[in-house]
Structure 1
């Protein structure tokens, strides 16, 4: 009743929800149809659920009925078992007789079976021999049948182990089986000896051999296992087929390797190329063809690699004992480097160097020794030929060749650095850090030695040049010295490039790189010094042309018509033009600045050594000379501010001496001190010489008063410096021009 009321209430609510507004009455028929469909769907689900419940009840009743039947059957079987157990108690009295009969039966069956197997042994052996003699014999078939015969033999021998007569008879009877086993083994070893060619023609045959070897290895393991249940004779085990197979394979590899190395070894590089080609062809064959055929635990590829590496080491050590040429040593070092790299690149093998480190060091040492001897000879020849061409060749008809910029150059630079580049390049190609270091050290030592030898020869040659008369001097000495300067600059550039190449090389360790960098920096400095030496000799030649003019300074002719400095400037201008045209531009201002230094020294020397009378009008004459020099040299070195300043400083000495030549007695000490401050080698004795040459010298009390005043001034300055902790006298400067040390104060 409650269910009907609830249903009616639910239906009323549903109708109320559907018909909330008057216009919804138009859809009553549509709502009725939808509700009828929903009712039919619910009724169908209810019928299906009810049918499912009925089917489940029917199945449960059937299972219950079957269970009752099974229980009844089990109860009956248990009763039958109980009855049988009670009735079999008397059978235990006859069990021993049953056992004896059963054992006898088993023995009879086994004996008959063994006899049947023994009777077929000769026939089976004969068949297997025929099969083995066939050209394309089935080795696996032969092996399986032979293994069956061997098992029969070993089992019978085991059972007859205590019966000597029967044991000997069985040994004799199965002798052909042993012979056949030996023949099969020889066939297997013969095929393995040809493994490298077999893998390319009949790889399946090699796989068959390896399958037989694997089975033999398993048989060895099984027979030698003490817990193995099989009772057979073990006297022929283990056979060790796996070890023998690997020995034969590696032995065949040795034969192939030795066939390659018996060729002519006199030409090392072609021999190593052939050897490398052979090794990598074989190892690639092993990796690509052998490895898939062999069981993984054989590790066959690594065994071949180890074997070849061992023999490669032996060959290389044999070559090391020979007297090798440098090119052959390089070939060996390059080959070893490429060999290990190709092992990694082509085969994925990380191997040690094929030669011990101490032997490699021995090779490098031998190479550097041989190359050092040759390079020393080459350097001597370069210097000899250079000097022979330009100094000792009277038939020389023209100056050195010029480069694209018009600078004089000789072949020495090109030849020298071609030699160096060749050695460094071959060292870099080895990619061997220590060897690169040794070669770079060798080259830097050669370059430093070349610089020393060339400088020595250049000095001796230049001294010889000035020791003879102008008519006997070489025609192109000046041009040659210009070429030496230019060559030295170019060599410095080459050395810098070499240093950059060394620093960029990834094979040099940090400790080696630091040493090479410092040594090459010394090489660069050495060539700069060589350029300075040649520059100094250039100045000597220029000054040699000026000396005849400079000797006219402070003479009567100079006082009357002072044209000497005009001639000096004109001559220097010609030289400056030649330098600007044929000398490296960095060294032209430097050379002219050095020339000015020598002109000043000559000027001062003329002033002091002539002991000529210094007249009062010297002020104007010297000012004109100094101004001309100032104007000329300042214009020539204007591109280098440091040198322009140096010109002013240098010429200030002449201005100060000009003042000293005309100063009054009271001013002379201060002027002297100003000069002495810049030129500590200017002594009171030098000043007394100047005063003695002045035409008004009689007004100075013989010069004694001035000298005394100067010495008092110096002493006063020294005492003051001592109190303040300053230097008692000016110290020499690295850029200071030494003038008065060249002028004697002796009368």
Structure 2
């Protein structure tokens, strides 16, 4: 009841659920109908099962009653037959005495002929399997024609010995010793036959390959017979043991009811039963011997294979295809030549699997290298795939599991070895690269197109590609994706290492330039150098030349690395499943993006060096001091700027990857414009006071020189003009009457929405015709209007003026 209430509460959680009561009712009715159908089907099934069981019980009861009646008839007939014959006991006793006389005579005859039969069997074994030197070996070309005869005669003699030894137990000690001595020559003969069984049993597949299937069939018949006889012997021994316990431990052996000494034993001519006792046959274990011979032969084959390839794990694993060949021959040929109930394929498969497991354990014990571990993982995968596809045997059926289920541990070991190897290679390579980049004793190498290049990236990708191709050959998505991920991590670490080195060298280059520009510090430095002293711990003034060339080479290498990465992704991603393909693509895309980002950082750092070199020229732009003003109005600073830009660009154009040149020019254009505009700001050592219209004329000349340079080299005149539009607003603010300046700022913001007020303030303060008080009032009004106007209603792309004042 409570569960029903809870169910209703769950269905009717909200007030609007009441409108759905009819729909809910219909749904519940459908669910109930489905459950009722299932219940009826289950009940019917149980009723049918119960009815069948009741019928079987009734049949069993009837059959038991019939058997009981028949047994009672047999017992009655037996009793009546004894009573119907006069002197039945005497006749039965005399018949028994007569049989014993006959058996005794047979026993004596067999004792006399034993050694002759032993020699006869021995001669047959020597003829069929003798090696001429007293040894026994079943050759592949031997048909062993007497195998069944040998087994038959040997079994007779063994049965006879068992019978004799059974009866000798009740005789004197001397008789027992004599009996044992008489049968002693039989043991070496048994050993020889066992050797034949082992040779043939251990080489069944080879006999089949040689076309000697008859021998295989005959051996199978012998083993089948021995298996059945051993089972009978085991059962009789168990029954005999129980009988002794019930009789208080007294002997007498197994006694057949109503037979009065008649034996049901085999009708072998050498099997003798005396009195009422049956000689027990001890189990002879030929099925076990047969299986052990097969197992040993398989083990020997594996050991021979291992010895053929000492210390060569990969070649060893490549030469194990014979396992599948043997299993296929077992399934298609051997299984048809032996009893089906043996399930010989399952037995042979188990032997081969155990030895394969042991072989892999031995290989792992040799501390294999990364390539060998990959070969092991590949082999295990192929092994299970072949067993599944070729023999319909699942991985779960093959026990113990190969590698003891430690594939993940082995996979981790492989990845560690790969990472260690890559790190070792990268460290050795990085040491050489760092020294070349820092020392810069020689110019970078050039490729066929005249571009600067560093060879490290080529070497790196040769090593990376080698490892990835090896992993790809495994055709295992997990391994390939793992190797790609680790290689990606190594490449990202390499990018980070190069970034740190480059940043340090760029900062050092700029510090040296700044130090040498300071005359006082320069004289101190020159004096220290003359005295053989270091300037500081970084040896800053002893910086090596050629950094720009190496920066270009480094930037080019990043584009090359991105190309290599994309090519590698296109090559390996399609060879695995979608799951791992996505992972590989994502990893390599991240690496490629890192290369592109670092290439951009290289060009930015190169521009940073350029503008560090141009700092003196920018410092005297708009300078109002006598010397500075004279230089500026003569156009000297801008000529220096454009000449320096042209010189740097000449190196870039000649030796940089074309994909980077446009990026470099875009950034150079932005930085040049920003540096020029930022030079309008007055500072502690830089006072700007522009006398109009003379100043505006010179500014226009400066703008013209800058425009000519970029228009000549940049591929997009439209882009250059778009950036230079800010100079139009600069001139409007400089040349417009004071009362129109607020509108000019509004126009500036309309086109460059993120331009800070500080730019407008710097230009207004630079005008000599506007005093500071008037400037402050004007800027205050403009600031208030800007605050009232708010920001743009929609998100806009940042403009060049958004970076004004940030550097």
TM-score (norm 1): 0.72
Q: Which residue in 2 is equivalent to 1:482?
A: 552
Alignment pair present for 1:250 and 2:295: yes
Q: Which residue in 2 is equivalent to 1:540?
A: 608
Q: Which residue in 2 is equivalent to 1:311?
A: 355
> Structure 1 CA distance, aligned partners of 2:82 and 2:732?
158
SS of the residue corresponding to residue 120 of structure 1 reads helix
Q: Which residue in 2 is equivalent to 1:131?
A: 120
> Structure 2 CA distance, aligned partners of 1:150 and 1:375?
71
**Correspondence 1:60-79 to 2 at 5 A:** none
> Structure 2 CA distance, aligned partners of 1:100 and 1:165?
28
Cα 1:245–1:593 change in 2 (3 A) is same
Q: Which has the higher contact order (CA 8 A, sep 6+)?
A: 2
> Structure 2 CA distance, aligned partners of 1:165 and 1:559?
140
Cα 1:741–1:315 change in 2 (3 A) is same
**Correspondence 1:532-681 to 2 at 5 A:** 532-544=600-612, 546-555=614-623, 556-557=629-630, 560-562=633-635, 564-565=637-638, 568-569=641-642, 571-573=644-646, 575-609=648-682, 610-617=686-693, 618-630=695-707, 632-634=709-711, 636-638=713-715, 646-675=719-748, 678=752, 680=754
Larger radius of gyration: 1
CA apart distance, 1:658 = 1.7
> When the two structures are aligned, how many residues end up with a matched partner?
630
CA apart distance, 1:349 = 6.3
Cα 1:467–1:480 change in 2 (3 A) is same
SS of the residue corresponding to residue 658 of structure 2 reads coil
Alignment pair present for 1:493 and 2:570: no
Q: Which residue in 1 is equivalent to 2:472?
A: 428
1:713 pairs with one of 785, 788, 801: 785
Contact kept? 1:554, 1:606, Cα under 8 Å: yes
> Structure 1 CA distance, aligned partners of 2:755 and 2:365?
66
Contact kept? 1:485, 1:530, Cα under 8 Å: yes
CA apart distance, 1:267 = 5.0
- Give the alignment's Cα RMSD to 1 decimal: 4.3
1:231 pairs with one of 258, 264, 272: 264
Moved more, 117-126 or 181-190: 181-190
**Deviation sequence 1:598-650 (CA, Å, 0-9, x none):** 111221122224433312224444334434544543564436xxxx6653443
> Structure 2 CA distance, aligned partners of 1:359 and 1:93?
76
Contact kept? 1:155, 1:231, Cα under 8 Å: no
CA apart distance, 1:534 = 0.8
Cα 1:378–1:736 change in 2 (3 A) is farther
Q: Which residue in 2 is equivalent to 1:373?
A: 420
Q: Which residue in 1 is equivalent to 2:253?
A: none
Contact kept? 1:326, 1:371, Cα under 8 Å: yes
Contact kept? 2:756, 2:802, Cα under 8 Å: no
1:209 pairs with one of 206, 219, 234: 219
Moved more, 252-261 or 709-718: 252-261
Moved more, 415-424 or 734-743: 734-743
Q: Which residue in 2 is equivalent to 1:20?
A: none
> Structure 2 CA distance, aligned partners of 1:676 and 1:257?
85
2:454 pairs with one of 407, 410, 413: 410
Q: Which residue in 2 is equivalent to 1:141?
A: 149
Contact kept? 1:131, 1:142, Cα under 8 Å: no
CA apart distance, 1:737 = 4.6
CA apart distance, 1:536 = 0.9
Moved more, 173-182 or 330-339: 173-182
CA apart distance, 1:219 = 2.7
2:594 pairs with one of 519, 526, 548: 526
Contact kept? 1:283, 1:301, Cα under 8 Å: yes
Q: Which residue in 2 is equivalent to 1:741?
A: 805
TM-score (norm 2): 0.67
Q: Which residue in 2 is equivalent to 1:114?
A: 103
Structure 2: unaligned runs, 5 residues or longer = 1-80, 129-145, 240-255, 266-277, 517-540, 624-628
Q: Which residue in 1 is equivalent to 2:59?
A: none
> Structure 2 CA distance, aligned partners of 1:246 and 1:646?
87
SS of the residue corresponding to residue 607 of structure 1 reads coil
